[in-house]
A and B are shown apart, each in its own frame.
Chain A
């Protein structure tokens, strides 16, 4: 019976019901979509950063990450490859040999990082191959040919087929130097990377540096990138304590932390919006129930208990909140789903994005039903809670006061 009256009242006060539903549904949709956008863009940022060069899982000598010196190299790359050959979950495994060198061309000298790679496998674990802007990508047998970042090439004032000299330290601390010819130029969009990195075939660099079968680290592309942490643990177990296998969550801890901070700020912003909505709903409910005081007084006068009036009014807000939250969840969820398939593209913001080390401008949203349901539940609780004080207040009137209140 109270349910019937609650439903009738929702229909009788159509305008108030519609405004409430629209307000709450929009807020729910906003929350669901904002969460989907934040989660999605963070995921995208991390993934794209990871995929440009750092990789999902990195294998190093156990002390290399704390102290990246020539003592802490992987000295038997072949053994690592062999040990992991039959470990499930690995899509690609490739070694790198990184070395800080001084590049020189004409009268320009620029410090940078020269890295030996397995060109074919590297092409699958990072974006190097896709980022080619001029000339050609590397091949396994290339000798003294370099594939260079666009900013580095610009600073050295070299183009494809020009010569660049480098000076560095070999694995045995010997002096090592050679002259390279530019085979290709890449641009990932990550300014810092394009400004410093240059690549050669690992077989060539190993020879020049006296680093045959050495590696600074291996990069692993997991068959399922979302299980990178589990794979890193399995690799660590397989290789034993001499080695360390770290997932991107560890190697990119700074970025992960930055995203977390961003999420917190996002939630603070949403929180402020919610506080405003909370009070809007509360004040609106206060006005709405006050306009109905007389009716509530009648209910009380004929013997309805305060608790029963309370139940009836709460039922109304529960129904309104339920409709709103479901509608908002559907709208927000559909938007999240749509923009997951058709990512939002921030054209014209490339430069700003690059400042944050982001080399992409499309931001797919996340579509996680559980998160959506969580957000809907949160909004439901919030919208019902906002009506409790006004209802409590109205219920505090004596029937005669309520009936005379117009």
Chain B
């Protein structure tokens, strides 16, 4: 019996964008990840990276197969329960930053913590701690549209980390950043992975970024082409 931290079992996903059109985005994917890993999922555009991350994070449901996070099923769970699972255990970082536009950086970071019901002081302290690690402590009172892309993405990482999730899923977090910002962000994510022991799975097709991971999954046409460990 496999009891690893995150299990992806025989996941398939078929989209039906039109009446008679079917797109098989993922075909029978089985993967397993350990706690505290720093994983990259890479592959050409359209290979199914986003779809896989969404399914692992409970944002999308597979056509068949199961995802089990730390013994808890992520698939086939009602929406309300899934919301709580995401709130308490999963942090997301999206390619398009996806901050809440009407909230300041600080409020964005504190939002999930407040949903979790944490106290005001705890939120403030945790935000300060995380913001310093991501070098955004001077930007906390700015609104998202007052920040550069790199800054917004660091706020998004801070939001994902601050709520102390078991797992962070980052879908091409550096795709919209220049190489310097991208390298900075990856270093910070790596540091968070090491300091806080949070499992981070990110997707990318940038070789420089892919090289930072210690566990690398290559997708091709919705199938696992390779699953390798380094270091």
Q: Which residues of A contact B88 (CB under 8 A)?
A: 303
| Contact assessment for B83 and A295 in the assembled complex, using a CB-CB cutoff below 8 Å | no
User: Interface 1/0s, chain B 99-119, versus A by CB < 8 A?
Assistant: 111110001000110110000
Judged by a CB distance under 8 angstroms, whether A307 is at the interface is: yes
| Contact assessment for B59 and A9 in the assembled complex, using a CB-CB cutoff below 8 Å | no
A298 to B85, CA, bound (A): 15
A399 to B55, CA, bound (A): 12
| Contact assessment for A304 and B83 in the assembled complex, using a CB-CB cutoff below 8 Å | yes
Q: Which residues of A contact B47 (CB under 8 A)?
A: none
Q: Which residues of B contact A307 (CB under 8 A)?
A: 80
Judged by a CB distance under 8 angstroms, whether B73 is at the interface is: no
A303 to B163, CA, bound (A): 11
A312 to B194, CA, bound (A): 37
Question: Which residues B175-223 have CB closer than 8 A to chain A?
Answer: none
Identify which of A9, A299, A306, A403 contacts B79 (C-beta below 8 A): A306
Report A375 CB to chain B, min CB distance, Å: 33
| Contact assessment for B98 and A303 in the assembled complex, using a CB-CB cutoff below 8 Å | no
A301 to B87, CA, bound (A): 8
Count chain B residues whose beta carbon lies closer than 8 angstroms to a beta carbon of A. 28
* Contact (A295, B79) CB under 8 Å given A302-B87, A304-B115, A398-B60: no
| Contact assessment for A12 and B80 in the assembled complex, using a CB-CB cutoff below 8 Å | no
Question: Which residues A300-338 have CB closer than 8 A to chain B?
Answer: 300-308
Judged by a CB distance under 8 angstroms, whether A85 is at the interface is: no
Count chain A residues whose beta carbon lies closer than 8 angstroms to a beta carbon of B. 23
Judged by a CB distance under 8 angstroms, whether A120 is at the interface is: no
A298 to B59, CA, bound (A): 11
A298 to B112, CA, bound (A): 11
Q: Residue on B with the closest CB to A13?
A: B102
A270 to B163, CA, bound (A): 52
Q: Which residues of A contact B166 (CB under 8 A)?
A: none
* Contact (A303, B115) CB under 8 Å given A398-B60, A400-B59: yes
* Contact (A403, B83) CB under 8 Å given A5-B103, A303-B115: no
Q: Which residues of A contact B60 (CB under 8 A)?
A: 398, 400
Question: Which residues A365-406 have CB closer than 8 A to chain B?
Answer: 398-400, 403
A interface, CB within 8 angstroms of B: 1, 4-5, 8-9, 11-12, 295, 298-308, 398-400, 403
Q: Could you show 7 A-B contacts with beta carbons less than 8 Å apart? A: A1-B114, A299-B100, A303-B163, A305-B80, A305-B87, A307-B80, A398-B61
